[in-house]
Amino acid sequence: MCGIAGYFEPGQRRASPDLLLKMAQAIHHRGPDDAGAWTDDGVGMGLGHRRLSIMDLSPAGHQPMVSASGQRVLVFNGEIYNFTELHAELEQQGRAPAWRGHSDTETLLAAFEAWGVEQTLKRARGMFALALWDRRNRTLTLARDRLGEKPLYYGWQMKGQQPAFLFGSELKALREHPSFAGEVDRSAVCLLLRHNCVPAPYSIYRGISKLMPGHYLTLTEQDLQAQRLPASTPYWSLAEVAVAGVAAPWQGSDDQAIRELDALLRDAIGQQMVADVPLGAFLSGGIDSSTIVALMQAQSSKPVKTFSIGFDEAGYNEAVYAKAVADHLKTEHTELYVQPAQAQAVIPRLPTLYDEPFADSSQIPTFLVSQLAARHVKMVLSGDGGDELFAGYSRYRRYATLQRIRRATLGMAPGLAKLGGALLPGARGRRLSGIGQRLGLPWPDDYLALVALANPADLRLLFGERAHADPFGSVRQRFVRSDIDSHAEQILSGDMDTYLVDDILVKVDRTTMANSLEARAPLLDQNLIAFAARLPFDLKLRGEQGKYLFRKVAARLLPAEVLTKRKQGFAIPLATWFRNDLRPMLLDTISSRAFKERGIFDQAGIQRLVDEHQQGLQDRGELLWMVMVLETWMRTLPDQTSPSPMH
């Protein structure tokens, strides 16, 4: 795992190695083991790199790496899990160079020489972000893995007289370049207020984009000199995988499906356990991480190192289940019970960790468990992706219930909405009214309303009359798959393409890399994704039980109490903490002069949210967390009185 950075300046004869190293140093945490810079004489192109040594710890893995022919130069962040197969295939074809080491970077670079960019990306199984410079053709190619596990920002900037094309793993690397303008895109702030994050391809800064997952972007010399930005090209499509799965569904028995899933899990986990450094696993006590640890232990000659976080609040504490799994599997287990003061100490670091406002509160325990693990290992496996692949979230069951109510009420939704608002007091009436409103929405707004951070009424509280009425438009295009003939499968692929990519994977990357820890997600293996797409929905959600087939595999490996416990998720007890330990910080935030002068939020509406939460009328913890995270980030800007993004 590493960090990459680079830039191109039109009309310049040579990039600055010192500036490249400065850009790379800004993301030192992503690669504390080594650093490098490379420039192309006669061309204003430069590449920078920070290395976290996981495979081939020798100097042969140093980057930027020049190909054997000298034509191509690569900076690479990630891991190619099938690099040994690619290595062997190159040798069988007689297209392998004289190998200098055994890193996946060297194999990937040789594959680009032999097969070209698109064919190599299609053959590679892994997580990655990369920049490839072709010296002969003077083309720059940026690429990102299929699900976007690794980040990549890019764009043209001009502050002063010199334009520059900038790219890097994190925004803090781009900010080191003197041409970086840093103009906040207030439309992107609106996206945060709806989704807890700024979804790809947007970033918080105008002119800077996130490369979409499964895409590559090639800029020719003409593009670079003319300051053009061509469209990126997909080499893999989650939508196409979902369509293919629905078109060719699994035809075998349940037992055959269980055996196939078991084999695919073992293969993906075995591949991702390959490393030249100590490794371990996050263990939450849930089905996904517990199954991964069980299959890791089955393939390991010694106890797997496992790590978990606990809370004193019973409704949020999965550490007891994690401990039970660890005891059952005989892992080497380490746990940490988090106190409010520890969480509060992380909050001022959030703007630096994420570079742009990011408001998923599980970022706190994820950072702390990463910090814990990094004291013992350099790489961990995580259980991310299982809920989207196999229908594990409770909202899938709630949506199925909503559909049953819709069929039973036969157009009574407007009446339910009015009845709730008119007859029941306070929060109960608003909840019933909200159900009625969702019943009256068309697909997919009914589902998006179910999962949105803020509904239209909440937006009016936050922003008063300036609030936009439609909180779903920004994700609709990526969520809706009109060619998938199943709303259930559209929900899963839509959540994977939005919530997983823009929220969960961003959270895991930033919190682990902030601690110089590599995290791998075997459930996001492309073969597992293709298999899950073929499964009938009944093998994912059966009755009230999510992850039906996955549970059948897990039942062979885990204690019964893990399979039957209620899903809790990996979150902090915001509701309780905002009424107690975090309350002073919240009140200081919303009562500060800077907060009021900024004018982003409606003061009366914010106060109503606080009052409703403090009085226990509604749990407003997530909305209040978003407000506090945004204000904390805003205070890092040079202009402390930025106008409202809702203007």
pLDDT in tens, 383-422: 999 999 999 999 999 888 888 887 777 666 556 555 555 5
In angstroms, rounded to a whole number, what is the distance separating the alpha carbons of residues 164 and 181? 10
User: Rounded to an integer, what distance in angstroms lies between the CA atom of residue 367 and that of residue 510?
Assistant: 8
Average pLDDT over residues 117-145: 97
> From CA 453, how far away is CA 132, in angstroms rounded?
38
Cα–Cα distance between 191 and 180 in angstroms, integer? Answer: 22
Average pLDDT over residues 471-494: 80
Cβ partners under 8 Å of residue 593, min gap 6: none
Residue 94 φ/ψ region, left for φ over 0, alpha for ψ in the -120 to 50 degree band, beta for the rest = left
As annotated, the active-site residues are 2
Alpha-carbon distance 148 to 69, whole Å?
30
Cα dihedral angle (186, 187, 191, 196), rounded to 10 degrees? Answer: -10
* The pLDDT of residue 413: 58
Rounded-to-10 torsion of CA 256, 258, 259, 262 = 160
Backbone φ and ψ of 379, nearest 5°: -150, 140
What is the band of 119 on the pLDDT scale with cuts at 50, 70, 90? very high
pLDDT of residue 433: 62
Mean pLDDT of 10-18: 94
d(CA 102, CA 56): 6
pLDDT-based confidence at residue 643 (cuts at 50, 70, 90): very low
At 219, is the secondary structure helix, strand, or coil?
strand
Mean pLDDT of 343-353: 91
Question: What pLDDT, on a 0 to 100 scale, did the predictor assign at position 191?
Answer: 83
Residue 150, pLDDT > 50, answer yes
* Residues 153-161, mean pLDDT to the nearest whole number: 94
The pLDDT assigned to 647 comes to 44
d(CA 598, CA 596): 5
- What is residue 434's predicted lDDT score, i.e. its pLDDT? 67
Residue 379 above 50 pLDDT?
A: yes
Q: Kindly indicate the confidence band of residue 271, based on its pLDDT and cuts at 50, 70 and 90.
A: very high
Number of residues that this document lists for the chain: 647
Percent of the chain with pLDDT over 70: 91
Lowest mean pLDDT among 148-152, 370-374, 527-531, 611-615: 611-615
Q: Using the predicted structure, report yes or no on whether residue 640 has a pLDDT greater than 50.
A: no
Average pLDDT over residues 236-241: 93
Helix, strand, coil shares of the chain as percentages rounded to 5? 50, 15, 35
Instruction: Note the pLDDT tens digit of each residue in 493-518.
Output: 999 999 999 999 999 999 999 999 99
- Tell me the average pLDDT across 29-52: 95
pTM attached to this predicted model: 0.93
Per residue in 13-37, is it b (16+ CB within 10 Å) or e — as a string? eebbeebbbbbbbbbebbbeebbbb
**Spatial CA neighbour of 540 closest among 396, 441, 641:** 396
Residue of 229, 232, 221, 230 lying closest to 10 (CA atoms): 221
Strand partners, 153: 168, 210
Instruction: For the chain, give the mean pLDDT.
Output: 90
pLDDT range class, residue 466, cuts 50, 70, 90 = confident
**Alpha carbon separation from 367 to 156, 230, 290, 451 (Å, rounded):** 32, 36, 20, 24
User: 194: left (phi > 0), else alpha (psi -120 to 50), else beta?
Assistant: alpha
CA atoms of 449 and 472, how far apart (whole Å): 8
Question: Residue 484's pLDDT band (boundaries 50, 70, 90)?
Answer: confident
